[in-house]
Amino acid sequence: MTTADLGFAVSLTEAVGWSSIKRDFEELLLFDPHGNFVGEADGVPIGMVCALSYGPFASIGNLIVVDEFRGQGKGAELMEHAMDYLKNKGTDVMMLDSVPAAVPLYERLGFKKVCRSLRLAGRVEPKLSQRVRPMEGKDLMHILAIDRKHFGASRFLFISSGLAACPEFSIVLEVEGDIAGYAMGSERHGHVRLAPWIMSDHTEFAKIVLQDFAVQAGGLEIRAGVLETSRRAIGVYKACGLKETGHSWRMVRGAKESIEFSDGVYAIGSPMRG
């Protein structure tokens, strides 16, 4: 995939009802210019897949094949290409989120279901808090340290890019002068996607973070994803009026032991970004 393919990539996500925007793919190309792939038939693009290696683990996402080429093994070809790319980079542990219908494909490729990855949506009562303030550039080093603890690798590019592009949706929770959590988001097709959201400490203040984020959302619907293992986060969402709208399956391949995800992760944008 190159910048010339960005329009095609966004058209694929629009066709399947995903809320991806051009900036998502621009960031993926910046993170790894060689890890995003477009499948072609007779020179015509027919599908895509993206692969990101964080070192100890990797993520695969955005596997989409145009309708007329489905059922011909093209998705499996793209997946195998992405997996080979990650193996050549020395990464054996791979994860993804799969819609229920695609689970058999990924199981044939060696992935196993770990837990459900929930999708929630709703409008939250907005309320400003004195404990929550706008994120600033000077906060990044502290935020990155918190984020790495819960995500397991550096997301510097995605977090710094998100702050630069959407400062109005980037907030931090500060307790006694220390940053205890942060939340970020972006406006997409008439709603605001909340992601990522990390609560590193003082989880009792999670609700006020969500309500403050709702102020920034300006009345728009908030959509978020979270693993079903993050029970405290789910409790906060439901207490604030968000409802489950669907789910995918978090799947993992190559892990020698069971995978445990941090319950400090309150919102995920995709398996690729955590």
| Structural domain contains residue 250 | yes
Pair (155, 34) in one structural domain: no
| Structural domain contains residue 107 | no
- pLDDT digits over 102-114, tens only? 999 999 999 999 9
Q: What is the pLDDT of residue 203?
A: 97
Pair (263, 153) in one structural domain: yes
Structural domains counted in the chain: 2
d(CA 129, CA 96): 35
Give alpha helix (H) positions in 125-254: 140-151, 156-165, 206-217, 231-239
The mean pLDDT value for 87-96 works out to 95
Pair (190, 263) in one structural domain: yes
| Structural domain contains residue 193 | yes
| pLDDT above 90: residue 274 | no
Q: What is the pLDDT of residue 271?
A: 67
CATH of the domain at 26: 3.40.630.30
Pair (81, 138) in one structural domain: no
Pair (170, 254) in one structural domain: yes
Q: What is the pLDDT of residue 140?
A: 97
Pair (56, 124) in one structural domain: no
CATH of the domain at 171: 3.40.630.90
Q: What is the pLDDT of residue 218?
A: 96
Pair (166, 262) in one structural domain: yes
HEC letters along 12-34 = HHHHCCCCCCHHHHHHHHHHCCC
The mean pLDDT value for 74-84 works out to 97
Q: What is the pLDDT of residue 138?
A: 97
- pLDDT digits over 22-54, tens only? 999 999 999 999 999 999 999 999 999 999 999
What is the domain extent for residue 58?
3-92
Span of 48-52, 246-250, 255-259, 265-269 with lowest mean pLDDT: 255-259
Pair (166, 261) in one structural domain: yes
Nearest-5° angle of CA 61, CA 63, CA 67? 155
Please report which confidence band the pLDDT of residue 257 belongs to, taking 50, 70 and 90 as the band edges: confident
Mean pLDDT of the chain: 96
The mean pLDDT value for 203-218 works out to 98
Please report which confidence band the pLDDT of residue 207 belongs to, taking 50, 70 and 90 as the band edges: very high
Can you read off the two tokens belonging to residue 81?
A: 């290409």
Q: What is the pLDDT of residue 260?
A: 87
